[in-house]
Amino acid sequence: MADQPESSGFRVESAARDMVVIGGGGHARVVISILRKLRSYRVLGYTDPQDRGPLVGVPYLGSDEELIRLAAAPERLSVAIGVGQVSPGMGRHNLWMRLQPHQLLFPALVSPAAIVNDEVLLGDGSVIMDGAVINCGARFGQGAIVNTNSTVEHDVRIGDWVHVAPGATICGDVTIGDFSMIGAGAVVIEGRKIASRCMVGAGSTVHRDLTEPGVYVGNPARKIQ
């Protein structure tokens, strides 16, 4: 079978897998653009509690109940979590937990416009967005977002459901715990350890280990909540 065009004019490979995107907001639109560049998925549509009309050319399918209905097809359906920030990390994790009984596939997605060097391990449901650079030996848990133009240096350990926001820099050998978020343009200095459920504000610089959950801002980053 010849390659099939998608509604936007992008073509997908003939062996492309069917894919549904969860969420109808800004993050979902960026994820769909990455899927189009990859060409290895045929995006059937997106789910959302509300019909937001076609999303960058992709049709609305219904709520997540429709996704569960589609999951009953013999071929396992691939799903991309296109919800970014419903209470950092936790919302995406809850969504994932709700969908676990339905035999869906959550492939890691790497934009062709990202650079991922050797010996990098990505967990299921991770998304590496345009312009991100991930260096040798970095490891990610499930559902991580490495957002546009951010840098994750060599041997960094990133837990489950972490979000590295656009333009953030995570230097070598850093460890970031589950559900933490590193804000846009923030910098984490080499070798520092960040506990689970930390939120580092945009533009902050982390010089010391962050040992307890909380919100940290400034240079050096200090706990404010």
CB neighbours of 177 closer than 8 A, spacing ≥ 6?
A: 159, 162, 194, 195, 196, 197, 198
Copy the structure tokens of residue 156: 């960094």
By beta-carbon proximity to ligand JB2, the closer residue of 83 and 199 is 83
By beta-carbon proximity to ligand JB2, the closer residue of 65 and 190 is 65
Instruction: Tell me how far, at minimum, the Cβ of 89 lies from ligand JB2, in Å.
Output: 11
Instruction: Tell me how far, at minimum, the Cβ of 145 lies from ligand JB2, in Å.
Output: 6
Q: Residues with catalytic annotation?
A: 154
By beta-carbon proximity to ligand JB2, the closer residue of 5 and 26 is 26
* Count of other CB atoms within 10 angstroms of residue 95: 18
Beta-carbon-side half-sphere exposure of residue 161 (alpha carbons within 13 Å): 20
Residues interacting with ligand JB2, by CB under 6 A? 22-28, 47-50, 52, 64, 83-86, 95
Which residue is at the shortest CB distance from ligand JB2?
25
- Cis before 220 (ω within 30): yes
Instruction: Tell me how far, at minimum, the Cβ of 208 lies from ligand JB2, in Å.
Output: 27
CA angle 118, 169, 165 (to 5 degrees): 100
